Amino acid sequence: MNQQTRIHAANEDLMANAIRALAMDAIQKARSGHPGAPMGLADVATVLFNRFIKLDPSADKWPDRDRFVLSAGHGSMLLYAVNHLLGYDDMDMDQLRHFRQLGYRTAGHPEYGHAKGIETTTGPLGQGIATAVGMALAERMHNARFGDELVDHRTWVIAGDGCLMEGISHEAIDLAGHLRLGRLILFWDDNGITIDGSTDVSTSMDQQKRFEAAGWHVQSIDGHDKEAIAAAIKAAQADDRPSMIACRTVIGFGAPNKQGTAATHGAPLGDEEIAAAREALGWTWPPFEVPQEVYDSWHAIAARGRTAREAWEARLAANPRRDAFTASISAPDTAALGRAIADYKARLSADAPKVATRKASEMALEVVNATLPNTVGGSADLTGSNNTRTKGMVDVTRDDFSGNYIRYGVREHGMAAAMNGIALHGGFVPYGGTFLVFADYARPAIRLSALMGVPVTYVLTHDSIGLGEDGPTHQPVETIASLRAMPNLTVIRPADAVETAEAWEIAAASTGTPTALCLSRQGLPTVRTKHTEANMVARGAYVLRNPGGPRDVTLIATGSEVEIALNAAETLGADGIRAAVVSAPCFELFAAQPKDYRREVLGQPPRVGVEAAVRQGWGLMLRHRDAFIGMTGFGASVRVKDLYEHFGITAQAVAQAARAVMEQGDFA
């Protein structure tokens, strides 16, 4: 231990106890929260921040900062206390005093965007680990492009027993081990306690052996021994594998009568126990008071970071590739993208190809990937089916991170969370594919994409019974509705190659909303044969076929069913019935249009909706008495054509439904 380290170490007890005291006090004042984790982890956090971490609270978005992820999100007061002590200007004591209260940044679980220094939203267990894998991967990929001078940071994760029980943790650690993400260091808060009591109640997992099996470097230490913590971190840094440090801790450390029990996990300690803890810890200051010497120690970390950041800025300024670097972490060049897509659309309308929209997605991606330099593709082991790998894409491997295509494996959930991490890290615009029905496997991470507002694109192919023989387990009927139900998720189901190109323009240009593209397996004709410069998908829905004269009925369809609606309109037209056809690729974007536009598009009732899925979610498009041709139950294992006949999703059925709703009358 050198002189400086000794000074730090002498003060580290106080630094850690400041975290404990602030956590106890804030949770008690809120009468709600989880003191166990912040108190148990205070020593680990103190050593990590004091001796290792690289960040600058005065420049919270500095690209080369270390990323710190509290996967055990219920321990949020650990993060808030640390960020307060470090001196983040939006985390003053008033925030801690108002933990979990309206109008404050100190939410029950750390919410990305609420305060500086919160790298990702955590709380749903396991997500933090899997998101951190994406961050660590993005770091290596960015490093492969811009070198150690500009990209040279680490991703630190604190995870609890719950995180390691969740299935997503398996997907994450397998992927991290496979890609040998040596910059990822995970502290396991090995306190032996879950909500239901001792972890013995529900697990016998040898976690160290498990991580070793996944190719990780593994250590086990006393999580309250600061020199052991420091030594383990140094060893982890020296190893080229991702590292797991099992930290044996006492949950609620410092609370003399409750520590080591589930009683400290999710409830305030109570005034009496807090007083006893102050006594036991030798923390003599009143609630929400921290002595200046402790602040000084924490602020020294910030000062160290500031120096590093300033040196980095000097390096960036002198770097010949500084413009490319800045571009990589900036919003996409939507003007260039718009021009490229418009040109491509003109060609498409002329060619009028008949292709599956999954294939159309690949064609559009050729344009997108050629225009935006930092897209990163991938698939959960369905590359050939999802059509996610465009020409010239190169796999990212543990030996070479300069590629732009990620083999996520059969890990939909891990892929989604990793994409969140890549997007949050910056430098890349991630998209990844699976079958639409398996969006269910990834749903908790998709929800975090939406909640955080990170622009991830989900390429969800095989989007209906139209996938055919694989049968009901693979046929989404309720999945589109379940995605449309989610706030802040743009769900697009394009009808042809033109709409698919427009959908990709929206997805790739998005900065605050994730996108789910629902794409067909089966071939579809081009229905947008008349070229328009304007992105019609951006309006959500639009009149594709205008019958001329006042409408008798409006047929509204999405995706593969637009063709069916058009055929139905022709049939009706032959009988002198004027049927408009509305293509409605995106309900969310349509809902955001002005009321007048919506009225104009939808026309007066009667209407018929057509989608090879359940009706739920069509409330915006259809009145109660309008008809809907779709699914009411699960699918079946049959050839596509037979399936559409079997379930009655045909032009004849649509035409018949149109006649029936017209006869019904009474559509005020």
Considering only residues 601-630, where is the footprint of its own copies by CB under 8 A? 614-619, 622-624
What does the DSSP assignment read for 203-228? ----HHHHHHHTT-EEEEEETT-HHH
> Least Å distance between CB 477 and its own copies?
7
Q: In sequence order, what are the residues at sequence separation of 6 or more whose Cβ sits closer than 8 angstroms to the Cβ of residue 517?
A: 361, 457, 458, 459, 460, 492, 493, 494, 500, 503, 504, 507
CA distances from 369 to 166, 248, 340 (A): 34, 47, 11
User: Among residue numbers 178 through 217, which ones bind its own copies (CB under 8 A)?
Assistant: 178, 194-196, 201-207, 209-210, 212-215
CA distance 249 to 239: 24
Among 329, 636, 648, 650, binds its own copies (CB under 8 A): 636
Binding site residues for substrate, as ranges? 34, 265, 358, 385, 462, 470, 474, 521
Among residues 231, 300, 346, 638, the one that binds its own copies under rule CB under 8 A? 638
Instruction: Identify the DSSP state of 99.
Output: T
Instruction: Give the nearest distance from C-beta 298 to its own copies in angstroms.
Output: 25
Tokens encoding 554: 């409006």
The one segment of 297-305, 306-314, 353-361, 465-473 that binds its own copies by CB under 8 A: 465-473
Active-site residues: which are they? Answer: 412
CB of 66 to its own copies, least distance (A): 24
**130 or 229: whose CB is closer to its own copies?**
130
Q: What are 423's two structure tokens?
A: 């997007």
Q: How, if at all, do strands 375-379 and 355-356 pair?
A: unpaired
Window 411-430: residues binding its own copies (CB under 8 A): 411, 413-414
Min. distance of Cβ 524 from its own copies in angstroms?
A: 20
Encoded amino acid at 192, one letter: G
The DSSP line for 442-460 is: HHHHHHHHHHHT---EEEE
Smallest distance from its own copies to CB 306, Å: 31
- Binding-site residue ranges for Mg(2+): 161, 191, 193
Contact criterion met (CB below 8 Å) for 453 and 113: yes
Query: Rounded to the nearest 5 degrees, what angle is found at the Cα of 576, between the Cα atoms of 574 and 580?
Result: 90
Q: Is 514 in the site for its own copies (CB under 8 A)?
A: no
Query: Which of 17, 83, 169, 361 lies at the binding interface for its own copies (CB under 8 A)?
Result: 169
CB of 626 to its own copies, least distance (A): 9
The binding site for thiamine diphosphate comprises 74, 123-125, 162, 191, 265, 438
- Give the nearest distance from C-beta 543 to its own copies in angstroms: 20
Name which of 326 and 473 has its Cβ closer to its own copies.
473
| Least distance to its own copies, CB of residue 136, Å | 16
**CA-to-CA separations, 292 to 30, 88, 278, in angstroms, rounded:** 25, 16, 18
List, in sequence order, every residue forming a beta bridge with 627; answer none if it has no partner. Answer: 608
| Among 94, 395, 400, 600, interactor with its own copies by CB under 8 A | 395
Could you say whether residue 521 binds its own copies (CB under 8 A)?
A: no
User: Which three-class secondary structure state does DSSP give residue 74?
Assistant: helix
Neighbours of 1 (CB within 10 A): 10
Residue ranges in 535-564 that form contacts with its own copies under rule CB under 8 A: none
Tokens for 481?
């509705």
Single out the residue of 143, 361, 383, 461 in contact with its own copies (rule: CB under 8 A): 383
Give dist(CA 81, CA 584) in Å, integer: 48
Interacting residues with its own copies between 77 and 106 (CB under 8 A)? 100-102
- Examine residue 663 and tell whether it contacts its own copies (CB under 8 A): no
Using an 8 Å Cβ cutoff, are 566 and 544 in contact? yes
| 269 is a site residue for its own copies (CB under 8 A) | no
Which is closer to its own copies, CB of 130 or CB of 233?
Answer: 130
* 441 belongs to the binding site for its own copies (CB under 8 A): yes
CB of 31 to its own copies, least distance (A): 9
Nearer to its own copies, 25 or 440 (CB): 440
Question: What is the size of the binding site for its own copies (CB under 8 A)?
Answer: 106
In which order are the strands placed within the sheet that holds 457-461?
A: 405-407, 375-379, 429-435, 457-461, 515-519, 490-492
Asked whether position 447 contacts its own copies by CB under 8 A, the answer is: yes
- Contact segment (CB under 8 A) with its own copies among 346-354, 505-513, 549-557, 642-650 equals 642-650
Q: Which residues contact 484 (CB under 8 A, 6 or more apart)?
A: 491, 587, 588, 617
**C-beta closer to its own copies: residue 100 or 224:** 100
Question: Which residue, 520 or 535, is less far from its own copies as judged by CB?
Answer: 520
Q: Which of these ranges, 115-123, 331-339, 369-377, 538-546, lies near its own copies under the rule CB under 8 A? A: 115-123
Residue with tokens 């269910």, as numbered in its chain:
440
Beta strands in 304-427 (DSSP E): 355-356, 375-379, 405-407
- Looking at residue 414, the DSSP 8-state letter turns out to be H
Strand pairing class (627-629; 607-610)? parallel
Q: By CB under 8 A, which span of 58-66, 274-282, 401-409, 512-520 interacts with its own copies?
A: 401-409
Number of CB atoms found within 10 A of residue 282's CB:
10
Closer to its own copies by Cβ: residue 165 or 352: 165
> Contact 605/577 with Cβ under 8 angstroms?
no
Binding to its own copies in span 36-75, by CB under 8 A = 73
Tell which one of 57, 223, 268, 468 touches its own copies (CB under 8 A).
Answer: 468
Check if the beta carbon of residue 455 is closer than 8 Å to that of residue 167: no
Query: Given the rule CB under 8 A, which of 64-72, 167-175, 319-327, 363-371 is the region that contacts its own copies?
Result: 167-175
